[in-house]
Structure 1
Amino acid sequence: MNRKWSWMARLKARICDERGISLMEVLAVIAIMAIIAPVLTSTLVTGQKIFTKQTAETQFREDADYVTTRIMNEFYSTPFDEVTSCLDGSCVTIINSMEAAFNEVENQNKDSDSPDSYYDPIQEDKGAETETKKIFIEGKQIKIQKSGTDNDGTETLEVPSGFIGNPDGKPIFRVTCTSETASSSCQSGTIELVFNLQNDRTVETMQLESRFGF
């Protein structure tokens, strides 16, 4: 108990002491802070940069996955007859130009029970009713322009990240036909998406690639 009261008495005397601290103590504190402050600042700045980079990369992947899924849905949700791409690889167009029809054919079978004719399924040109879906980049966003469908117009796939041209010259949309053809259109093949994304939160960009068949 005596020790406790002695310790409290010394603490009270120290608090009430108006002599302050010496110049040497001030200089020692300044010297120590001058050594520690740059290390702490550098650690905080590095940690903030790493966190920002990781957050941006996560956002890049989520945005690229969303856009890729939407493009795949446009390919698989409706029938189409051919796919074309721009020469510079900046767009791809899905074209539905044919429709099913039936051609009446005379039945060569003379059996009395057989009908005089039957209908053979054929493909006919839809003419002015051709449906198209053009997927392209405008204003750093992926857009889908539809015509000849029930919901004509242009839809923007809005995401936080921006889509920019690839610095290595790779096409954004690259269509590869299953069989070699003289024309630029394909009935089947693969499409490769090469997205180069940027974000206002970081100066770094990220290139992501995806591929699927049609």
Structure 2
Amino acid sequence: MNRKSSWMAQLKARICDERGLSLLELLAVLTVLVIVGSVMTSTLVTGQKIFTKQTAETQFREDADYVTTRIMNEFYSTPFDEVEMCTPAPCIRIIDSTDTSFNAVENENQDSETDYYYDLDSSKKDTANETVITIVDEQVHIQKATRKPGEATVLQSDELLETRSFFTSSNETFNLATCSAETEGGSCTSGTMELLFILSSDRTSEQMTLESRFGF
């Protein structure tokens, strides 16, 4: 009890002491505050950097998936006769230049159970339709155009694929990895397309490279 009373008396005297803190006590408090503050600041900055990096990587993947899906849709949802790389790179040109029809032909074989069979007829169009996929100002564009033989190409539409990420232009962005069948002019009618995207963002200095392939 005496010890407790003595401790309470010392605490009360300390609280009522109007002399304030000594220089050594003040320096000790400031040193502790600086150490704790620097640790907390470093932790917060590191956490913010990790969060920003993870958020940017997620955005990169979403934008790359979106652009890849749109490019694949251009190959699969529209008829085309040939695919070629174009200049200036990076650039893909999908060309629909042939009309295809089926003509009914009378079957002269009397032993056949059918009176007609169908013959495939292909002829060149007067006006070819072109889809050009390219990168302009670090954004992917899908351009629709028409072209007549001996005349300049006429641009019909230019669709910007809006993404928050930037796509760096590279000669390897669009690459005709394999070609299973070629036309007389050297264009490809079927094969494998390789996409190599280098993505960046104004929110981080990090970049990400994503690669994908699909057949056509």
TM over 0.5: yes
Match for 2:27: what amino acid? Answer: L
1:6-85 matched pairs, under 5 angstroms: 17-85=17-85
Q: C-alpha distance in 2, partners of 1:114/1:173?
A: 48
Matched, 1:154 2:153: no
Matches within 5 A, 1:1-214: 17-86=17-86, 89-103=89-103, 108-109=108-109, 120-128=119-127, 130-148=128-146, 152-166=156-170, 171-175=172-176, 176-179=178-181, 183-214=185-216
Q: Structure 2 counterpart of 1:137, which letter?
A: I
Deviation digits for residues 36-64 of structure 1, max 9, x if unmatched?
A: 33333222222221111111111111110
Structure 1 contact 178–189 (Cα < 8 Å) conserved: yes
List runs of 5+ in structure 1 lacking aligned partners.
Answer: 1-6
Local SS of the residue matching 1:126: strand
Shift of 1:78: 1.3
Q: Show CA shifts across 1:128-153 (max 9, x none).
A: 1x2211000001100000124xx940
CA RMSD of aligned residues (A): 3.1
- One-letter amino acid matched to 1:122: D
Mapped partners of 2:96, 2:69: distance in 1:
20
Instruction: Tell me, yes or no, if the aligned pair for 1:85 and 1:184 is still in contact at 8 Å.
Output: no
How many Å apart are 1:17 and its aligned residue? 5.0
Unpaired stretches in structure 2, ≥5 consecutive residues: 1-6, 147-154
Aligned length in residues:
203
Mark the CA change 1:41 to 1:72 in structure 2 (over 3 Å): closer, same or farther.
same
Q: Higher strand proportion, which one?
A: 2
